[in-house]
Amino acid sequence: MISTAKLAAAGVVDRLYATFDSPRRQMWLMVAIVVVMALLPLVMGRYTTTIMTNALLYVVLALGLNIVVGYAGLLDLGYAAFFAVGAYSVGILTVQFDWNFWLAIPPALLAACMAGVIIGGPTLRLRSDYLAIVTLGFGEIVRFSARNLEITGRASGLSNIPEPSFFGYVIDSYVDFYYVFLLLAVMAVVASHRLYHSRLGRAWLYVRHDEDAAEAMGINRVRVKLAAYVTGSVFGAIGGIFFSVNLGAISPESFSFEQSVLILMAVILGGMGKIPGVILGAFIIILGPELLRELGELRLLLFAVIMLLIMLLRPSGIWPERRN
C-alpha cells in the first residue's frame, strides 16, 4: 500500500520539482519569495511576524548545518552547541563586561571557529556513527557547562542583553528583527550557494562520496573536514548572536539536544545538500507545529507522525539533490 502511494507521490512531486530545477527559474523564484517576504510585515500581525522571524532564524541555522551534513557528509548531532557559543559569547560580553554589541561579534565568531576546531579536530578519524555520538556528547557538555558556570548565569541564564543600535537607530521592535533575520537568511543563502560552487564545495562533495578516493586525488581531507565544521559553526554562531539580542535573554534550555535534532530534521526533511530543500525544511519545522496549534497537546505527536510519513514516502527528503 505504501509503495503505490509512494510511487504516485513521487511522480507528481518530481514533475513539480523538475519545473523548478533550472538555475535561472530558481533565482527568479528566490527573488520573488524575498520580495514577498519583505512585504509580509505590512499585512502580518505581531504573532505571525514573530513566528516568521523564528523560521528565518532556522533557515540560517539549517543552512549552516547543511554545510556540515549535506555538503561534507559529517553527521552532527550537537549543532546547537555552536548556536549556544554565539549566543553566550555575545551575552557574556555585553551583560557581564558591558561591551558594545557590534564589538562583541568578532570575538563570538572567533569562539565559534575555535569550537569548530575543538570538536572537529579529534573526531575527524571517527566513523560516522561515532562521530554522531561524539558531537551529541559535545553539545550536552556545552549545555551542562552553561547551566553550571557562574559567568553564564547558571540555570537562569543571562537576561537584559541590551538592544543593538545601528548608527543611532535602535533595533528593538519585532518588525526590525524580522528584517534583520530576513537579511541574514538571504546572506546565508548566497554564501551557501557560493560555497557549493567553490573549489572547497567540490572538495566537500568528493569527501562525502568517497573519502579515500578524494585523498588519493590530492584533497587534504583533514583540512577540508575542518573547514566544513568551522564554516558550519560560523553560520550557527551568527544565528545565536542575533537570537540572543532578539530575545534579550538566553538560558541553557534554548540549546538542548532537541534543538540540534530540530535543526537536523529541517535539513533532512527538506533534502540534504539542496538549498531550496533546506529552506523548505526549516519552514516546515517551525510553521508545522504552529499550524497544528489548535490541536493542543497532541500537536507535537501529530507532527512527529507526519514527519515519519514524509521520511517513509520520500527517504531522501522532500526536495532532494538530483543524482548525477
In whole angstroms, how close is the CB of 38 to other proteins at the nearest point?
A: 32
- Amino acid identity of residue 126, one-letter, is L
Q: Which is nearer to other proteins, 2 or 36 (CB)?
A: 2
316 interacts with other proteins by CB under 8 A: yes
Q: Long-range contacts of range 309-313, CB-CB < 8 Å, 24 or more positions apart?
A: 310/269, 311/268, 311/269, 312/2, 312/6, 313/2, 313/5, 313/6, 313/9, 313/10
Q: Alpha-carbon torsion 11, 13, 14, 19, what sign?
A: positive
In whole angstroms, how close is the CB of 78 to other proteins at the nearest point?
A: 10
| Contact code string over 231-270 relative to other proteins, x by CB under 8 A | --------------------------x---x--xx--xx-
Q: Which residues pair with 250 in a beta bridge?
A: 158
132 interacts with other proteins by CB under 8 A: yes
| Contact code string over 28-67 relative to other proteins, x by CB under 8 A | ----------------------------------------
Q: How far apart are CA 269 and CA 320, in angstroms?
A: 9
Q: How far apart are CA 262 and CA 285, in angstroms?
A: 7
In whole angstroms, how close is the CB of 260 to other proteins at the nearest point?
A: 10
In whole angstroms, how close is the CB of 185 to other proteins at the nearest point?
A: 23
Residue matched to cell numbers 533565482: 27
Cβ atoms of residues 51 and 246 within 8 Å: no
Using CB atoms within 10 Å of the CB of residue 125, give its burial: 0 to 12 exposed, 13 to 18 middle, 19+ buried: exposed
Query: Which one of 47, 102, 130, 166 is in contact with other proteins (CB under 8 A)?
Result: 130
Q: Which is nearer to other proteins, 123 or 192 (CB)?
A: 123
Q: Which residues are at the interface with other proteins (CB under 8 A)? A: 2, 69, 73, 75, 122-123, 125-130, 132-134, 136-138, 140-141, 144-145, 147-148, 208, 210-212, 257, 261, 264-265, 268-269, 272, 297-298, 300-301, 303-305, 307-308, 311-312, 315-317
